[in-house]
A and B are shown apart, each in its own frame.
Chain A
Amino acid sequence: DAGVTQSPTHLIKTRGQQVTLRCSPKSGHDTVSWYQQALGQGPQFIFQYYEEEERQRGNFPDRFSGHQFPNYSSELNVNALLLGDSALYLCASSTSPSGRGPHTDTQYFGPGTRLTVL
């Protein structure tokens, strides 16, 4: 049973560039969430995708955008990179949140993509 996979593993970019990170959810999962983990900090929620739509968003600027494909995989795009965007970007997958009623599912994390902005 394949877990959550992410690509690439590492990435080096310069300020002002754009980057795309990719995530494939665990088998049977249809919801993808993205988190940013800066050095020495806990993961911070960026946004969540379900049924190819952004369902919830954290406190991140519009430079951060995403997409979900019909096969449930997802991309995270960051435009106009800043030095402060250097971090480990984590993808987590889970099963369908209903958007109704309490959420009781568990999110499973991928290995992350280490982004360095020079």
Chain B
Amino acid sequence: AQSVSQHNHHVILSEAASLELGCNYSYGGTVNLFWYVQYPGQHLQLLLKYFSGDPLVKGIKGFEAEFIKSKFSFNLRKPSVQWSDTAEYFCAVNVRTDSWGKLQFGAGTQVVVTP
């Protein structure tokens, strides 16, 4: 069965610092990859997604992610975080051959940005 691993459960950093969140998945076939964000008191929102093409994907709010197929990774990055980036971040995968698109999520990374 496929699985998704997020390396850090909690990250604390200062405003203007750079952020990188790791995500690895275990599945040998073709996958679609997603990063979702859950701000305090709000619902899960899509940050960015990768289906095919350029492995460097740009999302909303200055976030980007790079798909490295050989490493089964889809790491999320932001060059300079703001206090408003405090949230929980989830990596998710679905299998391209699964026509119904069931999402498999990682456990999430809680990011706290201090002023």
Contacts and interface: CB of A to CB of B under 8 A. Distances in A.
A57 B108 CA distance: 22
Contacts, number: 75
Interface stretch (B14-22, B64-72, B89-97): B89-97
A103 B44 contact: no
Interface size range of chain B in the complex: 20 to 34
Contacts of A102: 30, 96-97, 99
Interface stretch (A11-19, A66-74, A77-85, A106-114): A106-114
Interface size range of chain A in the complex: 20 to 34
Chain B interface mostly:
loop
Contact of B43 (A97, A103, A112): A112
23 contacts: A33-B102, A33-B103, A35-B105, A41-B107, A42-B4, A42-B105, A43-B90, A45-B102, A45-B103, A48-B102, A56-B100, A90-B44, A92-B103, A97-B99, A102-B97, A102-B99, A103-B101, A105-B101, A106-B34, A106-B49, A108-B46, A109-B44, A109-B45
User: Which 7 residue pairs spanning A and B have beta carbons closest together?
Assistant: A42-B105, A103-B101, A109-B44, A111-B43, A56-B100, A102-B96, A43-B105
